[in-house]
Amino acid sequence: MSVVRGIPSSSATSKQSPGPADVAVIGGGVIGLTVAWRLAVAGRSVCVVDPTPGRGAAWVAAGMLAPVSEAHFGEEALIALTVAGAERWSVFAAELEEAAGTSIGYRRCGTLVVAADSGDLAVVEELLKLQHTLGLTAERLTGGECRQLEPALTPGVRGGIHAPKDHQVDNRLLMGALLTACIRGGVSFVADEGAEIVLTADGARVVGTRLTGGGILAAGTVVVAAGCRSSLLAGVPEGVIPPIRPVKGQVLRLGGSATAPLLGRTVRGIAHGDACYLVPRLDGTVVLGATVEERGYDTTVQAGAVYELLRAARSLVPGITELTLLETRAGLRPGSPDNAPFVGPAGPDGLVLATGHYRNGILLAPITADAVTGWLGHGAVPEAMSRFTPGRTDATPVL
Ligand SMILES: Cc1cc2nc3c(=O)[nH]c(=O)nc-3n(C[C@H](O)[C@H](O)[C@H](O)COP(=O)(O)OP(=O)(O)OC[C@H]3O[C@@H](n4cnc5c(N)ncnc54)[C@H](O)[C@@H]3O)c2cc1C
């Protein structure tokens, strides 16, 4: 099997309707592929429906596994879930690397959150209070201590937080490895879109999914993992699939030296009120992100967004302007009303949701797959995930 930029090309992806499967997974993004692989490992026959598996938002993303630096006020239950999700990563990464036979660039490198001026430092100190209230591991550093850890930081850096347990994975290597593990595990693929969930005449249970190209993929269980397009699927009564919306994020990829990398760990920061992050890969690439925009399904890249990201990043790490501009790209996070995912059975028998992971889909992929395999009777549902079922009533919008 050949691998191009992390994605294996394989004859395993077919345009034709396959035979019936135990489980049809609609969407081959990071959530759908992780669920499919783990279900196949549990002995289920699984078919993934996706015109472009291995892409989606996770292809654009930064790959931070960062419950501590990503903590937000008012999201305490979600933070507990992300902490549990992060704890799952080390074993998951080892199992996936073994199954796929490739590295996924999982780095236990920690994260530094830094402030450019005194206003930014006040925001960082509020974050530290929240982290300590929740018992998260985070240490306040002076500007000088930040620079000792990361000498490329500007001499003017005012201070920051060290979050030693916030790690990262190379999201593109991850997606390639998931595809390989799925194919090796016997998962089949249909290069088409699921248009509609097909139910029995009485609407009591699912019998499969109708494909946009025609035909029905018969399956006793259908997992909806179509990212920001999950709510567009027809066939189930209104409200069964909660509202998931696209939240645009623009990102740059910058090329640097693998032997003399600019940064040794993820640096997140606030520069005169503008937030950004810099995620260094082992090959010298630095991922610089990201905007957060409500612009529907638009994935164009705006010059202004690129400028603002570069301006904020240069205020914190001046040397980034010496790197090569490799790529600019926009992706769509699957946003939910309360920024938390919906994972578990919903509506008719056999329908399972695994969607709405918003800004934490990579971090939460392993624990989501554990939950789905648990719901389908092949293990326990992780306690931290059990309150994020589709039927929950407290998914009120975060203002
Ligand atoms: C800029 C940016 C940075 C991010 N950084 C991070 C990060 O650092 N850490 C982190 O944990 N998360 C991060 N995220 C969030 C993360 O990428 C998402 O939460 C995650 O990708 C969601 O996974 P998913 O599989 O649900 O959706 P996606 O990854 O979007 O995949 C959905 C898949 O469904 C397919 N699909 C859609 N409709 C259909 C249909 N009808 N039939 C069949 N297939 C369909 C699509 O082709 C796609 O392949 C980031 C996202 C963005 C945009």
Whole-number Å distance, alpha carbon 130 to ligand 1 midpoint, is: 28
- Establish whether residue 248 lines the binding site of ligand 1, counting it when its CB lies within 6 angstroms of any ligand atom: no
Average pLDDT over every residue of 273-302: 97
pTM: 0.95
Nearest by Cα to 165 from 260, 241, 254, 89: 89
Q: Are 363 and 86 in contact (CB under 8 A)?
A: yes
pLDDT in tens, 49-59: 999 999 999 99
β-pairing verdict for 324-335 and 245-255: antiparallel
Average pLDDT over every residue of 5-13: 44
Q: If you write DSSP's letter for every residue of 68-123 in order, what string do you get?
A: TTT--TT-HHHHHHHHHHHHTHHHHHHHHHHHHTS----B---EEEEESSHHHHHH
Nearest by Cα to 287 from 205, 383, 381, 173: 173
Asked whether the predicted pLDDT for residue 11 surpasses 50, the reply is: no
Average pLDDT over every residue of 288-305: 97
Q: Are 269 and 123 in contact (CB under 8 A)?
A: no
Rounded CA separation 314/59 (Å): 25
Token pair recorded at residue 380: 């326990």
The ligand 1 atom at the shortest distance from the C-alpha of residue 233 is 41
- Establish whether residue 169 lines the binding site of ligand 1, counting it when its CB lies within 6 angstroms of any ligand atom: no
Test site for ligand 1: of 13, 38, 50, 65, most ligand atoms within 8 A of the Cβ = 50
Q: CB-side exposure of 367: number of CA atoms within 13 Å?
A: 27
Rounded CA separation 355/35 (Å): 11
- Establish whether residue 85 lines the binding site of ligand 1, counting it when its CB lies within 6 angstroms of any ligand atom: no
Whole-number Å distance, alpha carbon 394 to ligand 1 midpoint, is: 24
Phi, psi torsion values for 88, nearest 5 degrees: -80, -15
- Establish whether residue 236 lines the binding site of ligand 1, counting it when its CB lies within 6 angstroms of any ligand atom: no
- Establish whether residue 30 lines the binding site of ligand 1, counting it when its CB lies within 6 angstroms of any ligand atom: yes
Q: If you write DSSP's letter for every residue of 35-61 in order, what string do you get?
A: HHHHHHHTT--EEEE-SSTT-HHHHHS
What residues pair up with 287 in beta bridges, in sequence order? 253, 279
Per-residue pLDDT at 9: 47
- Establish whether residue 362 lines the binding site of ligand 1, counting it when its CB lies within 6 angstroms of any ligand atom: yes
Per-residue pLDDT at 379: 78
> Taking the chain, what is the end-to-end CA distance rounded to the nearest angstrom?
47
- Establish whether residue 331 lines the binding site of ligand 1, counting it when its CB lies within 6 angstroms of any ligand atom: yes
